[in-house]
Chains A and B, each alone.
Chain A
C-alpha cells in the first residue's frame, strides 16, 4: 500500500488506514536509526526544502536528519534571512523555490492554513510542520507512535492533553489522530485555554486537573507560554502551576502504567515538574527519536515508497 495523497496537511483528513500505514512504516524506519551506519539510498536524488517561518530546533532538524538518512538533499530556508524580509509574498517565495525543482516542501508557518494555501499553488508535495493554531500532523503521528510502542495499542486508551489547548496545534492533531485510532481524548486546562465549543469536538473537556487525570493511560503535557499570561488568559504562572502543573502527586491519579508526553520545549517547574520530566515514565526523548522515524516514513511514502520495510 502507498499513500494516495499529495500532501500531509493535517490528521483531520487522513484515514485510519493511512495512519496505520505511516506508523508501521515509521516503526521500520526506526530500525535504521539504530544501525551504526545510518544511511539508506531510498531518496537518493530527491530534493527537500524546509521553509520555517517560525523558530524551530527539533522539528526542522528532525526533518533534515530524516531526509539525509534516506540520502535526499535538503535546503533550509529561514525567512528572516531570505527575500521575505524584502516583502516577498508567500506565493512568490514558493513559486521561486519551486522553480528550483524540489520534490517536497516542508512548511512551518504562524498562520493557520498557510500550508494549505501553498499546497493549492503547486503540484509538489507539502508537509505541514505546524501551522498557527491548526495542526502539527507529524507531532501527532510521533506521539501516536510513542504511545503505540509503549502500550502496544491505541484502541481503548484514554489520553489527557493538558494545558493550552486553545492555541495548540499539537492538541488538534492528537485529537484527530488518536480518536481515529480508537483512543479517548480529554482536554484538560483552565476554561480560558479551552477552545470555543470544544464540547462539540470528539473529546471530553475537564477544567479540574484531578478529574481530568483520573484513570488515564497517557498524559500529554503542553507548553504554557508566558505571553498567554500577559494577555490575561490566566493570572500567573504560579497559579497555573498550582492548579494544572503535572506533579508526581497528580500522576498517582492516572493508571499505574501511565506515560507522560511533552512536545517540547518544556517549561520545567511550570506545566511539568522536573522530577516528572526526568522520570522513567517520561517519553520526551523517545518522542524526539520517533519524530525522525515518522518524518522518514512520510517523506518515503510521499515520494512513492510503499509500506514495505527498507532492506537492511
Chain B
C-alpha cells in the first residue's frame, strides 16, 4: 500500500521541518518527504493536499472515553470516532471509569477494545490509588507492564501529601509520569465556577484560583523531592503558569498542559447558567486567558490537550449546581487552536502543533508525534483557512456538551491517517 500526499506544507516540529512538498507513505510507514513523486502510484493513492498543512498525527493526552461503566456518555468506539474526526490519531484516556482503571485487567480491557475498534491509538492512563480513593497505592507496576502509559487520579486528586510523595517516589522508580489534576478540595469546597465578580453576581459558589495553585505548588515541591516526572493537567490560572515557569527555571522535572477552553473562553460563558460551560478547573478570567497564551508562547506550557469530558444531555439539562463538570473537546480542538492561537499570531503553526504532537509523545514515551522516515505513518492534514460553525449535532462523540455551539472557527482537519490508512476525511470517519 502506497499513498502520496502531494503538494502540502509539511510541518514537523520534531525535526524542525517546515517545507512545501510531497510525503510518501509505504506499508504504513513514512517513506519519503520532499520531492518524492507519484511514480508508479495509482491515481487513487494520491491525495492532493495543496494549500493544506501536513503535521504528525495529533495526540491528545487527556480524554475521558468512559468505557467501561459509563458507555451512555461515550465508549471507546464513539470516542475513537470523535478523535478521528477531530484529527487525532492517538489519545490517552483517564482512569475514572467504572470499574476504575486501577488494575492491569482494566488496562488490558481498554487496549483490547481499542484494538477491536481499530481507528485511533488509545493509551490507557492507570489510577494512582485503588478506586481513586486516595487511600492505597494501586498496582502501578503491573498496570505499566499491561500497557498503561502514565498514572493519575485525575479529578479525584490526592489530598494527602504523604501518600502523594510515596506514589511519586514509586513512579520515579518506574520512570513513568504522574499526571495531576491540581485542586485543594477544602478550598474549592464544592464550588461551581471561578470565584470572582461573576460568581458573586450569579450567586454560585466560587472556586478560587488558589485551590489550583496551592496544589501546583505542593506537587512541584514533591517533584523536587522525589525527582518524579510530574505532568500538571489542564492549567487554568496565571498563578499556576508562573509557578510552573519558575519550577522549570530551577530545573525541576515538570511538564504541563492546558486545554483549548482555557485560552478560548472566560467565566462569562457561565453567565446564563450554561451547564455546558461548567468544567473543572472552571473557566477563569481574561487575565488568566492572557497568561495561558503567554505560557504557551514561551514554552512554559508544553502540551495542548482537550480534557474531552463527555456527559449525557439529560445530565447537563438540569440545575447548574447538580450538572457534572466537563465539555467535549476532540472535535473543536484544531479549530480553536488555529482560531485563537495561530491566526492572531500568539503561536506559530509549528509551535502550536508541537504541543499536540511531539511534546505529548515525549512526555508519554510514545513512538509517535513525528514524520521521521521509517516511523508509523500517523498523520493529520489540516486546512488552516477553512471556516466552519460548531454544530454539536454533527459531533461523532456520543455526547454533545459544548458551550461552543454556533461559534465560528477557522481551521479544520481534512484527513486523519493512522498507520498509513485514511480513517477520517473532512470530519467524517471512514470506518
Contacts and interface: CB of A to CB of B under 8 A. Distances in A.
Contacts of B197: 196-197, 200-201
Interface string A188-205: 000000011110110000
Contacts of A201: 197, 200-201
A109 B200 contact: no
Contacts of B206: 196
Given A117-B273, A197-B196, A200-B197, A109 B203 contact: no
Contact of A111 (B199, B208, B322): B322
Interface string B263-291: 00000000011000000000000000000
A89 interface: yes
A140 B314 CA distance: 33
Contacts of A91: 314, 317-318
B46 interface: no
A221 B134 CA distance: 44
B205 interface: yes
B200 A114 contact: no
A134 interface: yes
A40 interface: no
B319 A114 contact: yes
B81 interface: no
A132 B203 CA distance: 7
A135 B201 CA distance: 9
From B196, B201, B205, B318, residue with most partner A Cβ within 10 Å = B201
A16 interface: no
Interface string B177-220: 00000000000000000011101111111101000000000000
A134 B203 contact: yes
A172 B203 contact: yes
Contacts of B199: 196
Contacts of A109: 319
A12 B320 CA distance: 19
Contacts of B195: 196
Contacts of B196: 196-197
Nearest to A231: B189
Contact of A117 (B203, B204, B208, B319): B319
A180 to B, nearest CB: 14
A269 interface: no
B330 to A, nearest CB: 27
A111 B319 contact: yes
A89 B199 CA distance: 25
Contacts of B208: 196
Nearest to B208: A196
Contacts of B273: 112-113, 116-117
A196 B200 CA distance: 6
A117 B201 contact: no
A131 B201 contact: no
A169 interface: yes
Nearest to A91: B317
A122 interface: no
Nearest to A176: B201
Nearest to A134: B203
Given A89-B314, A112-B273, A196-B206, A117 B320 contact: yes
A133 interface: yes
A162 B205 CA distance: 20
A47 B422 CA distance: 60
B201 A12 contact: yes
Interface string A151-184: 0000000000000000001001000000000000
B321 interface: yes
A229 interface: no
Contacts of A132: 203-204, 321
Interface in A45-90: 89-90
A113 B202 contact: yes
A112 B203 contact: yes
B391 to A, nearest CB: 20
A113 B201 CA distance: 11
A133 B203 contact: yes
A198 B203 CA distance: 12
A136 B205 CA distance: 17
B26 to A, nearest CB: 55
A138 to B, nearest CB: 16
B190 to A, nearest CB: 11
A112 B314 contact: no
A89 B322 CA distance: 11
Contacts of A196: 195-197, 199-200, 206, 208
A256 to B, nearest CB: 34
Contact of B318 (A89, A169, A195): A89
Contacts of B200: 195-198, 201
A132 B320 CA distance: 11
Contacts of B317: 89, 91
Contacts of B204: 112-113, 132-134
A90 B314 CA distance: 11
Interface string A130-152: 01111100000000000000000
A172 B320 contact: no
Given A89-B314, A197-B196, A197-B197, A112 B202 contact: yes
Interface in B306-351: 314, 317-322
Contact of A131 (B203, B272, B322): B203
A298 to B, nearest CB: 20
A113 B317 CA distance: 12
Given A117-B273, A197-B196, A197-B197, A90 B318 contact: yes
A117 B275 CA distance: 10
Given A111-B320, A112-B321, A117-B318, A169 B203 contact: yes
B321 A111 contact: yes
A238 to B, nearest CB: 25
Q: Which 7 A-B pairs have the closest CB atoms?
A: A134-B203, A113-B273, A133-B203, A111-B319, A112-B203, A111-B321, A195-B200
Interface of B: 195-197, 199-206, 208, 272-273, 314, 317-322
11 contacts: A109-B319, A110-B321, A111-B319, A111-B321, A112-B202, A114-B319, A132-B204, A133-B203, A133-B205, A196-B199, A196-B200
Given A133-B204, A135-B203, 16 more contacts: A91-B317, A91-B318, A111-B320, A111-B321, A112-B204, A112-B321, A113-B202, A113-B319, A114-B319, A117-B319, A169-B203, A195-B200, A196-B199, A200-B197, A201-B200, A201-B201
